[in-house]
Structure 1
Amino acid sequence: MLHVADLTCQILKNVSFALEEGKNLTILGNNGSGKTTLARALCHLIPSESVFWEGKKIGDIAHHLRSQTINYVPTSLEIYDEYLSVTDYLDLNFFESSNPQMREEILGVMEIEHLRDSPCQRLSSGESSLLLIAGAILHRAAYTILDEPTANLDQAKKVKIYRLLKSGSYFQNKIIITHDLNLAYKLGYDILYLEEGEVRFFGSCSDFFDPTQLEGCFGSAVQNIGGNFVVNYDEVR
């Protein structure tokens, strides 16, 4: 179980929640609410004494074991080696020796097999996002945090990633950071909603998208129209 107890760091204030094995989570919140800060604290990229895995402080777990426990996938791919290819990058994500068969399978799943020999620095933002997700699949951590996994993708690729996340075939446990209310609703994961660094809501997807709860978080700026959530920009506060 992943457990956070009174986490306070940078902009976060007394954040507490527990995520049981087999449960997935979507983290929502406005820009600057602390979503990415929380994700980085969960992985100990921001050191904290308030994050626990199976009762043990995440910072006390050896580096190589911690990387197998929880993996943070950022919004953008930053590669400084101009010669590092897509294949090279994917091979770096294996804990043990590379597995060409699995690598090729994931390249196919993500529909980027034609990029296998391309330098990572030359990829588009959308291609980079797909490569990050492919690497996360190969990494096979107990928990994978995906920060805005659909932000740089066209509509067809967004649907592909949604289906991949929904299937449960490629990740053990998932934590998704997103601004996309439709994605959060369709995934159906538990919801943690941050507001100015504090937990405004933590509970089931159905409870969060209850009209009363939704209005409490967004006022009249978000409307549910046939199961699709539409922003009324005239009402954004």
Structure 2
Amino acid sequence: MSPAVLFSDLTFAWPDGEPVFNGLDLVVGPGRTALVGANGSGKSTLLRLVTGALTPTRGTVRVEGVLGYLPQDLTLDAERTVDDVLGIAHTRRAVAAIERGGTDPELYSTVGDDWDVDDRTHETLDRLGLGHVGLDRPVGTLSGGEAVLLGLAGQLLRRPGVLLLDEPTNNLDRAARDRLYETVAAWSGVLLAISHDRELLELVDQVADLRDGAVRLFGGTFSEYESVLAVEQEAAQRAVRVAESDVRRQKRELVDAHVKLARRVRYGQKMWDNKREPKAVMAERKRQAQVSAGKHRGLHEDRLAGARERLTSAEEAVRDDATIRVDLPATAVPAARRVLSVREVALRGGARLSLDVYGPERIALVGANGAGKTTLLSAIAGRVPEFAGTIDVPVPVRLLPQRLDVLDDELSIVANVRRLAPAAGDNAIRARLARFLFRGARAEQEVGTLSGGERFRATLAALLLAEPAPQLLLLDEPTNNLDLASARQLSEALAAYQGALVVASHDLPFLRTLGITRWLRLDGVLRDGSP
């Protein structure tokens, strides 16, 4: 059979009974498929069901072909060698033993037909920009981006027919991303990728939209998917407006019916009081009027109920991608005010960096992995001491780090914000958190139980609501692990932020949404650079 992933009546629920999928039927065949959906919708869970890391509650998942999987959080033992991570260490040792004269049949069994293992491995590493990495080198000496590409190389060497990628561009610099894009574009088997990276999403053949435990397939790239979805949502919004109008009309007609019936009752009572007709005739007319009134009232009530059902159905077709609202006038900075001064700071590699930031500048900090972007931001925020030089930050500053380790997992969202804004009242904190989509009981949720996107949103809320309000905000790879809706919410929130912004990111489409005023490239020295 051709390589494929087949889901049949797939049902899965967490141990606490929370359902994720219920009777999912889906076939993913050859081609490049993007799996999209909100954080917490079950994308990574679906991949883990494919790999067998999770077991379905009911139904089956079947993989036709060799399976390769690059997880979102790739953890490698720093002491392992490169060839061990690639899964070729035993084969290489067996080839070397045979070349030294070894005749043990087990050596030949280990090698099989893979006599060119070294050549094939070097060819794969070269294609991914890792040609400089020796096979005997410890993994701990590699950068985070190199480790991700090494993990991908290990999967490619297995010659999989089905390849699963979970946020593969996280931690990759520009050059590494380009190599990954080339690999995806050339893929001929089944590829199922979870990603927020729009450039990668433009390389796919179809989009699988995961929503409310169901998957809907759209042919084409992500832009084509968005176009189709936009047309559908416009039609859904029109349907809601028509249904709302119908509900209002049915309410008016029901009121009019009640008024007419009340008039009939008053007229009948008047006739009864005046005794103008025989008592039996009037009693029969009264009975018939009551029956007619009941039917008339029931007809209009049924029509109103039907209109409300149509409105509910129309509303369900409209996606509720809520928007973060930020209104923080205290973060505003005058154009001439200096908010940051860096003088001859020596960071990783011995480079000496100088930088001045004035007013509400929006600076993109770009450069290869290992160039020192994270170190520079941490030094500005006072998290790590610089090796030499001076850093002066005359305004309140906050850092949103990659690891999102700002909050206490055992405290609620409200309690975490209260730690950073002790003078703010509980009602004020809750009102502000509502603008970040944490309303009512959701604001009491412990941070340790939040999904990745929720944790990011809570961390951003805590930093922006801190007292004093930050007039310089530092963001380190903020879109890592964010779904596309969350990334859009972040860019909308930052659009309303009135302070200075320094963002380190490899996500160029996201950076272009922020209204960047200066692009700075960190390549051993800090200099003006283009994306």
Give the TM-score normalised by structure 2: 0.36
> May I ask how many residue pairs the two structures share in their alignment?
210
Q: Given the superposition, is the C-alpha separation of residues 220 and 36 from structure 1 closer, same or farther in structure 2, using an over 3 Å criterion?
A: closer
Residue of structure 2 equivalent to 1:234? 492
Give the 3-state SS of the residue equivalent to 1:130 in structure 2: helix
Q: Which structure has more helix as a fraction of its residues?
A: 2
Contact 1:93/1:135 (8 A) holds in 2: no
Give the 3-state SS of the residue equivalent to 1:231 in structure 2: helix
For residues 151-193 of structure 1, give each alpha carbon's deviation from its aligned partner in whole angstroms, at most 9, with x where no partner exists. 111122212211221022xx63211111223421x11321112
Contact 1:2/1:18 (8 A) holds in 2: yes
Which amino acid is 1:72 matched to?
Y
For residues 25-57 of structure 1, give each alpha carbon's deviation from its aligned partner in whole angstroms, at most 9, with x where no partner exists. 111122221111100101222123421246xxx
Which amino acid is 1:133 matched to?
L
Give the 3-state SS of the residue equivalent to 1:78 in structure 2: coil
**Mapped pair 1:188 → 2:185:** no
Q: After superposition, where does 1:20-99 map in structure 2 within 5 Å?
A: 20=29, 22-48=30-56, 49-53=59-63, 69-80=66-77, 82=79, 84-92=80-88, 97=111, 99=117
Q: Given the superposition, is the C-alpha separation of residues 129 and 217 from structure 1 closer, same or farther in structure 2, using an over 3 Å criterion?
A: farther
For residues 74-130 of structure 1, give each alpha carbon's deviation from its aligned partner in whole angstroms, at most 9, with x where no partner exists. 123323361x21123224499963511100111111111222232113322111111
Q: After superposition, where does 1:212-223 map in structure 2 within 5 Å?
A: 212-213=231-232
After TM superposition, give the deviation of residue 131 of structure 1 in Å: 0.4
Contact 2:166/2:193 (8 A) holds in 1: yes
2:28 to 9, 16, 19: 19
**Mapped pair 1:5 → 2:8:** yes
Contact 1:40/1:72 (8 A) holds in 2: no
Kindly name which structure, 1 or 2, has the bigger radius of gyration based on alpha carbons: 2
Q: After superposition, where does 1:60-209 map in structure 2 within 5 Å?
A: 69-80=66-77, 82=79, 84-92=80-88, 97=111, 99-116=117-134, 117-168=136-187, 172-184=189-201, 186-196=202-212, 198-199=213-214, 201-205=216-220, 208-209=225-226
For residues 126-161 of structure 1, give each alpha carbon's deviation from its aligned partner in whole angstroms, at most 9, with x where no partner exists. 111110111111011210101111111112221221
Which amino acid is 1:160 matched to?
R
CA distance in structure 1 between the partners assigned to 2:160 and 2:138 by the alignment: 25
CA distance in structure 2 between the partners assigned to 1:91 and 1:53 by the alignment: 21
What residue ranges of structure 2 are gaps of 5+ in the alignment?
A: 92-109, 235-317, 324-484, 495-531
Q: Given the superposition, is the C-alpha separation of residues 173 and 208 from structure 1 closer, same or farther in structure 2, using an over 3 Å criterion?
A: same
Give the 3-state SS of the residue equivalent to 1:131 in structure 2: helix
Residue of structure 1 equivalent to 2:330? none
Greater RCO between the two (CA within 8 Å, min separation 6)? Answer: 1
Contact 2:35/2:208 (8 A) holds in 1: yes
CA distance in structure 1 between the partners assigned to 2:6 and 2:55 by the alignment: 15
For residues 46-77 of structure 1, give each alpha carbon's deviation from its aligned partner in whole angstroms, at most 9, with x where no partner exists. 123421246xxxxxxxxxxxxx5322211233
Give the 3-state SS of the residue equivalent to 1:24 in structure 2: strand
Which amino acid is 2:217 matched to?
F
Q: Given the superposition, is the C-alpha separation of residues 129 and 85 from structure 1 closer, same or farther in structure 2, using an over 3 Å criterion?
A: same
Give the 3-state SS of the residue equivalent to 1:77 in structure 2: coil
Which amino acid is 2:70 matched to?
V
Q: Which structure has more strand as a fraction of its residues?
A: 1
Give the TM-score normalised by structure 1: 0.75
CA distance in structure 1 between the partners assigned to 2:132 and 2:6 by the alignment: 41
Residue of structure 2 equivalent to 1:57? none
Identity of aligned residues (%): 26
What residue ranges of structure 1 are gaps of 5+ in the alignment?
A: 55-67, 222-228
Give the 3-state SS of the residue equivalent to 2:210 in structure 1: strand
Q: CA RMSD in A?
A: 3.1
CA distance in structure 1 between the partners assigned to 2:141 and 2:320 by the alignment: 39
